[in-house]
């Protein structure tokens, strides 16, 4: 039971780090990445579907994304969804595929994106710390209920803290990498 608390905390912290990673990947850098379009939903015959479900997205060049719809009738809906998104991309269609040139970022826009990425990282850290708090509360309740000895309780709290430190440093590393990508020309 005692080890189970730590394992559950680790699992929840892993999910928090993965969510943070996913959120950071949706932030546009100066390079083309198919992940950039992951959050876009298209109204396809009255149903909201993700872009990946109705099209293939590739990045043949560092500053170009190409969207190949599986159904040519979806081309206009995909274009509308891309324009409506807050990505700042202008689609160019030739009737078969959509080309999305990725413009270079201005210095001001880079600074804004760095702030956004830092905010996402802080939200991730807060989520990891919340998991730590919950695990520590569970450990203390188990100790008071007589299920754990005082020594075992302290040992588990130390294990949870080590997991917390590890996950927070992972988020910090993600932040550092993403900031460098944004600042690159």
Domain boundary among 47, 71, 101: 101
Number of domains in the chain: 2
179 and 113 part of one domain: yes
Cβ neighbours of residue 90 closer than 8 Å, sequence gap 6 or more: 83, 100, 101
Residue 30 clears pLDDT 70, i.e. is over it? no
Domain extent for 160 = 2-25+106-183
pLDDT given at position 20: 93
110 and 90 part of one domain: no
pTM, to two decimals? 0.72
pLDDT given at position 25: 79
Band (185; pLDDT cuts 50, 70, 90): low
**Dist. CA 9–CA 7, nearest whole Å:** 5
Count of alpha carbons within 13 Å of 19, Cβ hemisphere only? Answer: 14
pLDDT given at position 64: 86
pLDDT given at position 14: 95
Domain boundary among 45, 67, 101: 101
Question: What values do phi and psi take at 9, rounded to 5?
Answer: -65, -45
Token pair of 54 as six digits: 């109705």
CATH of the domain at 120: 1.10.132.20
110 and 170 part of one domain: yes
19 and 47 part of one domain: no
Residue 46 clears pLDDT 70, i.e. is over it? yes
pLDDT given at position 1: 61
């Amino acid at each position: 039971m005692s080890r189970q608390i730590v394992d559950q905390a680790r699992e929840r912290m892993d999910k928090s780090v993965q969510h943070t990673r996913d959120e950071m990947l949706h932030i546009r850098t100066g390079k083309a990445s198919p992940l950039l379009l992951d959050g876009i939903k298209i109204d396809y015959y009255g149903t909201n579907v993700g872009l990946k479900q109705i099209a293939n997205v590739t990045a043949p060049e560092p500053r170009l994304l190409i969207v190949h719809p599986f159904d040519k009738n979806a081309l206009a809906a995909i274009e509308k969804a891309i324009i409506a998104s807050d990505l700042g991309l202008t689609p160019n269609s030739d009737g078969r595929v959509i080309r999305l040139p990725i413009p270079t970022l201005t210095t001001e826009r880079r600074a804004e994106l760095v702030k956004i990425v830092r905010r996402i990282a802080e939200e991730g850290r807060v989520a990891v710390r919340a998991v730590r708090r919950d695990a520590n509360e569970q450990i203390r309740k188990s100790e008071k209920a007589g299920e754990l000895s005082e020594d075992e309780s302290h040992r588990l709290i130390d294990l949870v803290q080590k997991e917390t430190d590890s996950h927070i440093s992972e988020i910090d590393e993600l932040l550092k990498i993403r900031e460098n990508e944004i600042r690159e020309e």
